[in-house]
Structure 1
């Protein structure tokens, strides 16, 4: 399948700097939904990455036991909780965010799967689905029929295999992923080295990143970054391309200081500012 390389020139055509007269109310409100007992770090990382990527507001929807964790570890975020203590069972909220990221650390409890399906049937907002959200979709393929056009899916190789089945070659993997994107009218971010983005019959190959990104929570931060760009008004395809590029750029900028082994997901968030400054310097 023919691919288009995502370069700095590509990004400069997509990226728009924050305006001088902006305020948090128009920078976009992100809602991050996820978490379960023992996995509260996932939505926390996503939420932190989202706010550090330029959106004005972040709300996190988590099981009840996650309330104090989020309020303590991330005071800049607002927190809503499910009625269930340990896992999600009823995804209900009155706020109206600009974009939603869902699935990180969510688990696959039966009540969580049902709540996720109910959410999909009613949601009309720009959406990124990651991690356990993807696993629930693979477990219940009929749920895929509820996805709105331009939903962004961000599978790593294991999650991708659950969604499209096995493959015997890279060519077959690309064909099946392109078919998934086309059948759902979705943007599929095939995470790997390198990462590829499938959208509207096109395939984009990212040019940033290194092995340091192969660390726990890296994908959670990517979901937060992409969701933030959606909330700021970027079209789904552009949000995915820009998010993947910036995510990889943090690792490239950090590598001389951290090396590969000491780089963790929080390092991605710490280097987001430098990544944006690098893009703006080029622009």
Structure 2
């Protein structure tokens, strides 16, 4: 496996700084965040993120993205874009940029599950994905559907229903350990087997559920999810890697750690050490 970091999780670093530090720590690749974001006085994961490239006019940034990435010695695990599946102009923009960069694969985002009729959204998304598959093939890249809570593809079961029959060379799925703790959790190995050739990429983060100060009308407990360090969340990361190994997955694993207990540079270094140690243990068991 190869390990990378999604720059949504490195908001304090400018692009060149992110690439330099991650390369020095020993990461194999980087997954650049691409979106038009709001400004913020303090850099944050979702607004004012300094390691984010604007979606509008992305084609004008590809030379700089390529230069920074190449000079660091990092590879692309993909492009973490936020173009909605129905936004054909921006999907086309991200597909073209991915091809220009040689980044191979790029995320397209799915409709939210809230509001409207689910079946209608699902049918419309399938029509859009058929178009995306054609455009991805034209560019020689692959578009990725992420398993993400509160969207129409929160589980492997939902995703395979949506994409089944499309060319897995040009449409794939991102399996996301942390997102599935919030919604969509299925047995790891069963989910990988279900996705089959569509399992194209893996995101790793962790989360946990905490009791809130709120209460239901009858005094019942209200829980809420929050992101957690890889070592401290509820997901069994080693069991996840065990299932990936059993399935034969040997592709990219991209970390997007949205916890803040550790300073950013210490956080990314510790995550790599933790995951490499897990990989070594899992590999040794399978070799034995």
For the aligned pair, the TM-score class normalised by the smaller chain equals 0.3 to 0.5
Structure having greater relative contact order (Cα 8 Å, sep ≥ 6): 1
Name whichever structure is richer in strand by fraction: 2
TM-score, normalising length: structure 1: 0.38
Larger Rg: 2
TM-score, normalising length: structure 2: 0.38
Name whichever structure is richer in helix by fraction: 1
